[in-house]
Amino acid sequence: MTLDGSIDNKAGTLDRALKEIAALPAGGRLRVSSLYGSSRAFFLAATFKALNRPVLAVLPEDGAAAEFADDLRFFLGADAVRLFPSTEVLPFEAQSAHQELTASRVEILHSLSDPAKKFITVVSAQTLMQRVMPKEGLAGAEVTLSKGGTYPHEELVATLAGLGFARMSMVEERGEMSIRGAILDIFPPGFDNPLRLEFFGDEVESIRAFDLSTQRSLGALGEVRILPAGEVALGGHTRLAARERLIERAEELDLPRSAWEALSTGLRDGVGIAGREMLLPLFYGKLDAVFDYLDLSTAVALIDAPSAEASFERFEGEVKNEAERFLTRRHFFVRPEELYLSAKEARAQIDRFAVVEVESFKSGGIELSAGSNLDVKQDMALRKGREFALKPLVDRIKEGVDENRRVYLTVHNKGQADRTKELLEAYGLKPAVLKGADILDRKAAEFALALGSLSTGFNAPAERLVIISEEEIFGERVKRRAPSARKLDAFLLELQDLKEGDYIVHAHHGIGLYRGMKRVGVDGIENDFLLLEYRDADKLYVPVWRM
């Protein structure tokens, strides 16, 4: 039986693929090909639902991984899909990953270590090659706080600081905490909203989630589990061990003291440690790989396998080139093999699991023959601006339903769904509106609007399924990308080349003299500031997190 309930004995049906994947042992490999565009995500979503097992989807690049994760969310909903993010930092560079990224990585690693949780983890080949904090280290780092529990104040604050939480005047992002009298605000990984704990002495009187913008309470909680804010452990004992390893590695590289002294001081004092993720092996001695967090029942899907394999090789080359550059410049860096997997190691790790190669083009294995909607897109483009502009689309929809197919048109939101329904009603069509995640469960032939975004539509004849994306009908939408999380860190790295007395331009205050980075305490809270000097010796302290 196929997903639409019809009988199909063709060799390339989805049901045959699902049956063979279910029987695939650890170490086995199967290729599924001829899957155009987002039909790859449809296939993997169907696989995930049929197997009821965790899945690791590996994409060649970060951008492809993000787009593929969005397509999966269309078919499965947000809860079933996690994108394991890149740190967005070049190998060995002294840049710290954005706090939201590090918190997200910790949250996903923690979820992966729980065999009861089943979801699809999407990751790029490059990100998969970076080693992560040990599984045992993460398991031993979480802190549980309960209403009515007693926690000595100074000890609790020190513990949270050791978990990587930055003390701020006000919590705004994951990985931050704020203390005002008897109130502790904290925004841990795994929570959509920050938490507010009210104390009476050392006893927790209440725990509430609150809205970041309005500060209003969102409900009481009896107990919360606080995960580390990042992969780096900042506890005193751990930092001292890291400092010892730092000195050993510096001696191995025969570096001058000036090349590592600032790092050593930062590890000693617990502040000013730029690029902590690049020093991860110093804190733990031995790291794990993402693979070490996976249950062996996990299925690994290589999306565009040849390109993913090439990405392994390419990134290994980048690591080697960067290591040589750091050696030449006599900069400190950890042993490459301690921080990154080689391409050979990555492939060996993948081979421990049941592997499905998912290919866009016809390349053997089980061929599902899902094609594009290019003809529809071209017909719509030719009719643009003319009377009855939607007639080519309507003709295809009616033809598909008459042939016992399920035909869906994606719409980004409810407002667009209402407008599209009005347009189609003029042609005698009255489609229902459903969620994109409902498509996998529908069996009867129908035409409906599916809420959600999909990178491309596709036509899968063997499954009697046609999905047409909104962009294929109405044209491409303007996509606005959020600023890269690495922009601030890249700017801070450039500051290392500045000397005190150099000119620097502030967007609002104009040209001033750079007077260095200063650590300043305000209301008992220390943070890093950029010091600029203006006429008449006026000084401006610019907080680095606001630049």
Residue-wise pLDDT for 109-167, tens only, equals: 999 999 889 999 999 999 999 999 999 999 888 899 999 999 999 999 999 988 989 88
- What's the pLDDT at 354? 97
CA distance 403 to 532: 71
> Which amino acid appears at position 454 of this protein?
L
Q: What is the average pLDDT across 173-186?
A: 93
- What's the pLDDT at 376? 74
What does the mean pLDDT of the chain come to?
87
- What's the pLDDT at 396? 87
CA distance 374 to 357: 25
Comparing C-alpha atoms, which of 236, 243, 225, 266 is closest to residue 141?
225
Confidence of residue 48 (pLDDT cuts 50, 70, 90): very high
pLDDT at 473 over 90: no
Comparing C-alpha atoms, which of 431, 432, 445 is closest to residue 403?
445
Residue predicted with more confidence, 476 or 217: 217
Contacts of 537 (CB under 8 A, 6+ apart): none
CA distance 24 to 6: 25
187's torsion region: left (phi>0), alpha (psi -120 to 50) or beta? beta
pLDDT, tens digit (0-9, with 9 covering 90-100), for 89-103: 899 988 888 888 999
Q: What is the average pLDDT across 446-470?
A: 92
Question: By the 8 A CB rule, do 547 and 507 touch?
Answer: no
CA distance 414 to 308: 37
What is the radius of gyration, based on Cα positions, of the chain? 27
- What's the pLDDT at 233? 78
User: Half-sphere exposure (CA, 13 Å, Cβ side) for 104?
Assistant: 17
The gap from C-alpha 213 to its chain's centroid, in whole angstroms, comes to: 24
pLDDT at 9 over 50: no
Question: By the 8 A CB rule, do 24 and 53 touch?
Answer: no
- What's the pLDDT at 64? 96
pLDDT, tens digit (0-9, with 9 covering 90-100), for 55-81: 999 999 999 999 999 999 999 999 999
Residue predicted with more confidence, 546 or 384: 384
pLDDT, tens digit (0-9, with 9 covering 90-100), for 391-438: 888 888 898 888 999 999 999 999 999 999 998 988 889 899 999 889
pLDDT, tens digit (0-9, with 9 covering 90-100), for 323-340: 999 999 999 999 999 999
- What's the pLDDT at 258? 92
Confidence of residue 214 (pLDDT cuts 50, 70, 90): confident
pLDDT at 478 over 70: no
Question: By the 8 A CB rule, do 287 and 131 touch?
Answer: yes
Percent of the chain with pLDDT over 90: 58
Q: Provide the 8-state DSSP code for 161.
A: H
Question: By the 8 A CB rule, do 319 and 172 touch?
Answer: no
